[in-house]
Amino acid sequence: MSSRPAYDALCAHHARVYRLEHVQAIASWDRMTFMPPGGAEARGDAQAELSAIILRLQNDPAVPALLERARQEALGEWETANLAAMERQLRAARAIPEALAERRERLCVQSTQAWAAARSANDWATFSAALAPLLDVVREEADRLGQAFSLSRYDALLDRHEPGLRDARVAELFGDVAEWLPALIDKAVAAQADWPDAPALGPFPADRQKRVCERVMTLLGFDFGAGRLDVSLHPFTGGVPEDVRLTTRYTEADIVPALLATAHETGHARYQQNLPRAWLGQPIAGPASAGLHEAQALTFERQLARERPFLNALSRLLEEEFGPGLDVELLYRLTHRVRRDKNRVAADELTYPAHVILRTEIERALIGGEIGVDDIPALWDARMQALLGVDTKGDFSGGPLQDIHWSQGLFGYFPAYLIGAMTAAQLFATFKAQTPSFGAQAESGDFSALGNWLRDNVWSQGARYDLEEIVQRICGERLAPRTLRAHLTSRYVPAEAAHGGH
Amino acid sequence: MSSRPAYDALCAHHARVYRLEHVQAIASWDRMTFMPPGGAEARGDAQAELSAIILRLQNDPAVPALLERARQEALGEWETANLAAMERQLRAARAIPEALAERRERLCVQSTQAWAAARSANDWATFSAALAPLLDVVREEADRLGQAFSLSRYDALLDRHEPGLRDARVAELFGDVAEWLPALIDKAVAAQADWPDAPALGPFPADRQKRVCERVMTLLGFDFGAGRLDVSLHPFTGGVPEDVRLTTRYTEADIVPALLATAHETGHARYQQNLPRAWLGQPIAGPASAGLHEAQALTFERQLARERPFLNALSRLLEEEFGPGLDVELLYRLTHRVRRDKNRVAADELTYPAHVILRTEIERALIGGEIGVDDIPALWDARMQALLGVDTKGDFSGGPLQDIHWSQGLFGYFPAYLIGAMTAAQLFATFKAQTPSFGAQAESGDFSALGNWLRDNVWSQGARYDLEEIVQRICGERLAPRTLRAHLTSRYVPAEAAHGGH
């Protein structure tokens, strides 16, 4: 007889949810990779049915009483953290009435359709009309979540993706970056003024690009016994921790985008593959937050993969596949070119934060009710000009229509991209400081120490700590934009860097 | 307000089950095609969880009362047939207590594992020990099904796969075949005595074999907008009617097995793709039986694809892919060679019925309790000798351990292979008699008339009629082994055929 029957019953309940979410994850992956168009309608119905069943199971009326009783049981440290995560999940689920969730779902579908059409036609009015009612629903959702967790509206949305992170802290961190970023971009662009125009690295057929990408994944420690690489329109990491499915896409003319996307998704994938195995199925075994997930991707893609030793290893792989004569300097320039551009997804590492800051400012004001949907374009134009010196006037498709997020009701997520970049810079700097042998290993093409260090320090901790707690425990301080600044400066304006670069 | 609220509620109930089975089907397909080994355990747990939910939904206690009320409602012809199919499904589900189903599930897993090990080691005793308790459970299941449907034990199992077919009828049909088959095999082998040893058709790389297979599927009318071709260890047709997933496998040395497997699975797939669309989700829209399903595969693979016009079209495809110089006679001999061999799966069209008759005789006696598991090998050896003149003594792996069916508790299914072959012969002969223009179309490489005819006569009828009813409606008589005999005689012993071949 267990001494903690209520806790054990809750664990069994969450394991059931986890198993159903497994099947759902594989169906979603298939939808993005292999499903023929004729299957779309039936698949949508099928996955909606399973979603409804999962939701009903999550809201099992027996759960609150079990939580109440489990709180009286003697639990260890992980168990206590797991119970807290369970309570948090239930409170979030119960805060949203079923009718509101259904209205949101319906408006999301309409808004996403309107977004796709509006983007093709550079037509703000169409999207605006569809987004306005969805925004109202999201505000109501935020109000209810806020009540449940004693948070302000935008904080409640932030907390969903980044537990513990508050808007005041985001404003402080992002305000810091916004102060020094524009000048740093100016200097980087000037420093690259004499770079020759780099030709693309190609053309290479997709099947051979895939072979190189799979070797890059192996170099980065991906376990092919428990995951795969496939193709989708937008790269993503899906599947389940026991069977991680990541994707990239191939442009024959240029292999670099596929390689970088693969390195990025491999970071996400290794996090998934190395979540605490003994706890899989429980909330505590999940990733800690969206920002920490992004940080794993960026530690691999931006920190490690753009450094000289990795580019050298990559050029050796490319030469083995496509023959000798590859110019490593070309690879360097292709992965380091800074460009003032409207587009977030294609943005380089240095200008990327500007795109995130702009979106965060706008969605904060939207959720707070200080602006309405029709105020977005003017604000967008002004802030793009100020932060990045780019003119977006009249180009809605290249402006506020470029991202799918808001059309899907996804507010409070954008900050994770920059939180993740800051975290990645701090994790990588700490890793290197703690691992003096890494330099020589990397020169010889062995990068495994990074993955081992992240596994021991981050991945194996699951959701035990929030992002700033884990950064504090590992790096000895909380989020600190100056580490990101030092990294960007030493990489893009080395003459300016106080130290000798890393 | 609907005039048939109970019937409508039942339809909604079945649509829900159908949607969950959709997700399950995609997960199963993925398990056989793309899943890495590390995912197996979690996938097993996940699919078992979904299976349990589907089972619980099927046994929804509200259903019996709805069925009772729906019987009083005014229903059309299809609706009435649908309601009957619903009642049949429920009666079968309620006949098996949950505890029995669970015991069966557990014994199946053990028995299938024992089978795989025993087959590798040619070890009958190991398999026998695992099969015996499973056989007991299957007998109990058959007793309970038999009680529910007023059928004898083996009839109850047969009826699961081939509704309406009784063992007495199987004995009559198979007894007929067993009488003339051995002599026909003798004559065919003699007629081929002077055939030169045919070399394999290859080597061809897998990706180019795949291209040819996909062109064969197109030639056979497969809709690639609603399905795909992939690779698995054993070819199968899975997925859902809206998105049919079929597989084949490639042996570089020889393209013929991949081509024939593809033609076979395309027959299954087209049946799935052309089930009555307006009724999808309802029991009446399912395939009528295992034998009728097999018949569609065999009409394509054995009847159509082995005829001269199709072989000519195939050789043109092969020449387009691999260059000129293909010997059509080689293709003919490779697809028509008759061999006395122990192996069912690799057997040719003429010897195949012997393998089915043998298995049917043994499983009938096993289920009836006239023999026990340890009597199988001696009976196997004796009947293989009598029916096929092949010695299997001491070779369990090449004998009763070659098939996975019994180890999975699958009894009553084997007859479908020969019922399907008979049905295919009758359907194809009727089609040709009713379609005088087909000969000239086929010569020009257009085989679409066959698919159109099957769609109109068979596929679009779903499960409205049982197999013999549908054969009667289309061919003007019920199953008649002499049509299969005439087909086999004219193809393999043309000198003996009464008429001039077809």
Residue of B nearest to A13 (CA): B49
Confirm or reject contact between A39 and chain B (CB < 8 A).
yes
pLDDT tens readout for residues A49-96: 999 999 999 999 999 999 999 999 999 999 999 999 999 999 999 999
Burial A259-282 (b: 16+ CB within 10 A, else e): bbbbbbbbbbbbbbbbbbeebbbb
Which residues of chain A make contact with B26, given a CB cutoff of 8 A?
26-27, 30, 43
3-state SS record for B181-249: HHHHHHHHHHHCCCCCCCCCCCCCCHHHHHHHHHHHHHHCCCCHHHEEEEECCCCCEEEECCEEEEEEC
The count of other CB atoms within 10 Å of the CB of residue A183 is: 11
Structure-derived torsion over alpha carbons of residues B52, B55, B60, B63, reported in degrees to the nearest 10: 170
d(C-alpha A191, C-alpha A492), whole Å: 8
Burial A74-89 (b: 16+ CB within 10 A, else e): ebeebbbbbbebbbbb
Residues 6+ apart with CB under 8 A from A493: A184, A187, A188, A191
Model pLDDT, residue A155? 98
Query: Model's pTM, two decimal places?
Result: 0.94
Residue A1 has pLDDT above 80, yes or no: no
Confirm or reject contact between A26 and chain B (CB < 8 A).
yes
Contact A23 B47 (CB under 8 A): yes
In terms of C-beta density within 10 A (0-12 exposed, 13-18 middle, 19 or more buried), how is residue B427 classed? buried
Amino acid at A210: K
Which residues of chain B make contact with A49, given a CB cutoff of 8 A?
16, 19-20, 23
Tell me, what's the ipTM?
A: 0.94
| CB A108, CB A136: distance < 8 Å | no
Give me the mean pLDDT over the B376-385 stretch.
97
Which of the 8 DSSP states describes residue A299? Answer: I
Two structure tokens written together for B37? 């080994």
Give me the mean pLDDT over the B3-26 stretch.
98
Q: List beta partners, residue A243.
A: A240
The count of other CB atoms within 10 Å of the CB of residue B444 is: 10
Contact A23 B19 (CB under 8 A): no
Query: Which of B38, B46, B225 is opposite residue A225, by nearest beta carbon?
Result: B38
pLDDT tens readout for residues B82-118: 999 999 999 999 999 989 998 999 999 899 999 999 9
3-class secondary-structure state, position A496 = coil
What are the backbone angles phi and psi of residue A247, rounded to the nearest 5°? -135, 160
pLDDT tens readout for residues B230-261: 999 899 999 999 999 999 999 999 999 999 99
Length of chain A: 502
Q: How far is CA A456 from the centre of its chain?
A: 21
Give me the mean pLDDT over the B356-364 stretch.
98
Q: List beta partners, residue A244.
A: A227, A239
Query: Which of A22, A43, A227 is opposite residue B36, by nearest beta carbon?
Result: A227
Give me the mean pLDDT over the B393-420 stretch.
96
* Mean pLDDT (chain A, rounded): 96
Which residues of chain B make contact with A36, given a CB cutoff of 8 A?
224-228, 243
Residue B384 has pLDDT above 80, yes or no: yes
Give me the mean pLDDT over the B348-375 stretch.
98
| CB A409, CB A100: distance < 8 Å | no
∠ Cα B352 B356 B358 (to 5°): 115
Question: Best interface-test mutation with A: which of B243, B272, B275 has the largest number of A CBs within 10 A?
Answer: B243
Give me the mean pLDDT over the A140-148 stretch.
98
Q: List beta partners, residue A228.
A: A245
Q: Which of B206, B224, B304 is nearest to B260 (CA)?
A: B304
Contact B36 A240 (CB under 8 A): no
Model pLDDT, residue B1? 63
Question: Best interface-test mutation with B: which of A19, A55, A277 has the largest number of B CBs within 10 A?
Answer: A19
Reported as a pLDDT band with limits 50, 70 and 90, residue B498 is low
Query: Which of B24, B49, B240 is opposite residue A42, by nearest beta carbon?
Result: B240
Residue A439 has pLDDT above 70, yes or no: yes
Query: Which of A26, A34, A242 is opposite residue B228, by nearest beta carbon?
Result: A34
Amino acid at A86: M
Residue of B nearest to A38 (CA): B226
Beta strands in A397-477 (DSSP E): none
Which residues of chain A make contact with B49, given a CB cutoff of 8 A?
16, 19-20, 23
∠ Cα B329 B335 B339 (to 5°): 115
3-state SS record for B265-331: HHHHHHHHHCCCHHHCCCHHHCCCCHHHHHHHHHHHHHHHCCCHHHHHHHHHHHHHHHCCCCCHHHH
Model pLDDT, residue A497? 76
Confirm or reject contact between B195 and chain A (CB < 8 A).
no
Model pLDDT, residue B472? 98
Residue A487 has pLDDT above 70, yes or no: yes
Q: How far B66 CA lies from chain A's nearest CA (Å)?
A: 22
Give me the mean pLDDT over the A335-350 stretch.
95
Model pLDDT, residue B2? 80
Contact B46 A38 (CB under 8 A): no
What Cα–Cα distance (Å) separates residue A361 from each residue in A162, A169, A382, B227?
17, 13, 12, 45
Confirm or reject contact between A12 and chain B (CB < 8 A).
no
Reported as a pLDDT band with limits 50, 70 and 90, residue A502 is very low
Residue A500 has pLDDT above 80, yes or no: no
Contact B39 A242 (CB under 8 A): yes
Q: Which of A461, A463, A474 is nearest to A431 (CA)?
A: A474
Give me the mean pLDDT over the B129-140 stretch.
97
* Mean pLDDT (chain B, rounded): 96
Residue A422 C-beta-side C-alpha neighbours within 13 Å? 24
Confirm or reject contact between A42 and chain B (CB < 8 A).
yes
Total CB pairs under 8 A between chain A and B = 112
Give me the mean pLDDT over the B208-227 stretch.
98
Contact B23 A23 (CB under 8 A): yes
Model pLDDT, residue A501? 39
pLDDT tens readout for residues A380-430: 999 999 999 999 999 999 999 999 999 999 999 999 999 999 999 999 999
Model pLDDT, residue B130? 96
Name the B residues in 235-254 with CB < 8 Å from any A CB: 239-240, 242-243
Contact A26 B27 (CB under 8 A): yes
Residue B277 has pLDDT above 50, yes or no: yes
Report the relative pairing of strands B243-248 and B227-231 from DSSP bridges: parallel
Q: Which of B291, B299, B213 is nearest to B264 (CA)?
A: B299
Contact B39 A243 (CB under 8 A): yes
Which of the 8 DSSP states describes residue A200? Answer: P
d(C-alpha B229, C-alpha B210), whole Å: 8
Give me the mean pLDDT over the B61-80 stretch.
97
pLDDT tens readout for residues A449-478: 999 999 999 999 999 999 999 999 999 999
Q: Which of A8, A7, A3, A2 is nearest to A69 (CA)?
A: A7
Model pLDDT, residue B502? 40
Residue B501 has pLDDT above 50, yes or no: no
The count of other CB atoms within 10 Å of the CB of residue A97 is: 12
The count of other CB atoms within 10 Å of the CB of residue B15 is: 14
Using omega within 30 degrees of 0 as the cis cutoff, is the peptide bond preceding A203 cis?
yes
Query: Which of B49, B240, B242 is opposite residue A20, by nearest beta carbon?
Result: B49
Which residues of chain B make contact with A210, given a CB cutoff of 8 A?
none
3-class secondary-structure state, position A222 = coil
pLDDT cut 90: percent of chain B above it: 94
d(C-alpha A311, C-alpha A330), whole Å: 10
Residue A373 has pLDDT above 70, yes or no: yes
Residue B151 C-beta-side C-alpha neighbours within 13 Å? 24
Reported as a pLDDT band with limits 50, 70 and 90, residue A199 is confident
